[in-house]
């Protein structure tokens, strides 16, 4: 495990000061923003089948690249194909429990199987888009006389130029994130091939699903007796579409969308499946993770004098981290028990438990 974690740590850049392996010029970058994961597959990072198993095929259409600032492009350029820091991670896990055989089977999951979970996003590119547009949205909120509870929650009516420009840039950031995860997954598969001396196909490696955790989508939902076109903004929430939903790719149409719920590095993560209950109660959404119980600051205080990596080693989990303090901030005690969180959404019927994944190797930024 140490060798494997070491190779993954080396092959996938993570943490402060890390640089991506890709050298993109501005035309390449525009292609990433327009094509998303499709761009990565065209560069031979992964296969076309991966797109079938990615939310929205790994690309939101109609991105106007001119609404994205030069700063966002510059910030994103060096970070394409990097993990990041904070709660971003890559974990080697195994399926410790299967709750729904039929769904697990459809997702290609079975007990004691080894899995890898990657949690990263649009990196500095997405954040620069947010920074840029917060400024113009603050002005728009004033223009459209929308009182703000928090200046960070600036907004404009969806059918205005300001909102449409933002939506275009956000779609570009989502596409950047899908491309990023596709590249990281590809290098992860290469690393596994290297360590185990077999091809990804030989090892049986394949994507289960790639799902966004912070995104706005235009979707059809029932409101009262009418079907309405809505903007559903999932922030700290995950899409959870039921079987038969028109937006699901054929691979999962009969069973429902896989939902990936990361927990903490010492306990577990979960795979759930979307349900009709989510369409009825939560606009096709469920939870997004365990959620913190300690602030980063409190966690660091609590970890003082302890070797978190050794505590993890003692329970059979190999950990590598780039940042000083990251392991303390990310230790299990800093998070709610994801099992409790997942039980709530399962009982509420807004998604159903399929499998529990336990970590054995962890890379933190």
Query: Which residues here bind other proteins, judged by CB under 8 A?
Result: 15-18, 71, 74-75, 77-79, 84-86, 124, 127-128, 130-131, 134-135, 138, 150-152, 292, 294-298, 322-326, 329, 365
Measured from the CB of residue 233, what is the shortest distance to other proteins in angstroms?
17
| 365 vs 118: CA distance, rounded Å | 12
258 alpha carbon, distance to own chain's centre: 13
Active-site residue among 88, 119, 186, 288?
288
* Residue among 254 and 324 whose Cβ is closer to other proteins: 324
Measured from the CB of residue 365, what is the shortest distance to other proteins in angstroms?
7
Q: State the pairing for strand pair 89-98/214-223.
A: unpaired
Write the CA distances from 49 to 45, 204, 242, 273, 287, integer angstroms: 12, 14, 21, 20, 27
210 alpha carbon, distance to own chain's centre: 7
| 199 vs 218: CA distance, rounded Å | 39
* Residue among 86 and 200 whose Cβ is closer to other proteins: 86
* Residue among 50 and 162 whose Cβ is closer to other proteins: 162
Measured from the CB of residue 193, what is the shortest distance to other proteins in angstroms?
27
* Residue among 2 and 142 whose Cβ is closer to other proteins: 142
Say whether 127 is catalytic. no
| 326 vs 287: CA distance, rounded Å | 24
| DSSP code for 242 | P
Q: Computed from CA positions of residues 37, 233, 224, 157, in that sequence, does the dihedral angle turn out positive or negative?
A: negative
Write the CA distances from 146 to 131, 157, 215, integer angstroms: 20, 9, 22
Measured from the CB of residue 123, what is the shortest distance to other proteins in angstroms?
8
Place of tokens 């495990």: 1
* Residue among 54 and 87 whose Cβ is closer to other proteins: 87
Measured from the CB of residue 287, what is the shortest distance to other proteins in angstroms?
15
Task: State the catalytic residues.
Answer: 288
């Amino acid at each position: 495990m140490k060798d494997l974690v070491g190779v993954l740590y080396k092959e996938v850049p993570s943490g402060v000061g890390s640089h991506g392996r890709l050298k993109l010029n501005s035309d390449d970058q525009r292609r990433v923003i327009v094509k998303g994961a499709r761009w990565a597959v065209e560069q031979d990072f992964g296969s076309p089948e991966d797109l079938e198993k990615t939310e929205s095929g790994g690309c939101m259409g109609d991105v106007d690249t001119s609404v994205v600032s030069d700063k966002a492009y510059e910030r994103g350029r060096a970070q394409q194909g990097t993990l990041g820091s904070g709660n971003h991670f890559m974990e080697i896990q195994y399926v410790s429990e299967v709750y729904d055989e039929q769904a697990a089977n459809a997702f290609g999951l079975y007990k004691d199987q080894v899995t890898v979970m990657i949690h990263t996003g649009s990196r500095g590119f997405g954040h620069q888009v947010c920074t840029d547009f917060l400024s113009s949205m603050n002005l728009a909120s004033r223009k459209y006389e929308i009182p703000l509870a928090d200046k960070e929650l600036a907004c404009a009516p969806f059918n205005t130029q300001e909102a449409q420009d933002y939506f275009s840039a956000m779609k570009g950031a989502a596409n950047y994130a899908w491309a990023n995860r596709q590249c990281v997954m590809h290098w992860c598969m290469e690393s596994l091939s290297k360590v185990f001396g077999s091809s990804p196909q030989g090892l049986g490696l394949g994507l289960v699903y790639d799902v966004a955790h912070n995104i706005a989508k235009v979707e059809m939902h029932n409101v009262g007796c009418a079907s309405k076109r809505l903007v559903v903004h999932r922030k700290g929430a995950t899409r959870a579409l039921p079987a038969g939903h028109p937006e699901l790719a054929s691979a999962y149409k009969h069973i429902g969308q896989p939902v990936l719920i990361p927990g903490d590095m010492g306990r577990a993560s979960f795979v759930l499946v979307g349900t009709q209950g989510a369409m009825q109660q939560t606009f096709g959404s469920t939870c997004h993770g365990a959620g913190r119980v300690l602030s980063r600051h409190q966690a660091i205080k609590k970890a003082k004098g302890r070797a978190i990596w050794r505590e993890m080693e003692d329970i059979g989990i190999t950990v590598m981290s780039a940042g000083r303090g990251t392991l303390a901030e990310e230790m299990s005690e800093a998070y709610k028990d994801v099992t409790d969180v997942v039980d709530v959404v399962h009982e509420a019927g807004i998604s159903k438990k399929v499998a529990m994944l336990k970590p054995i190797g962890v890379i933190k930024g």
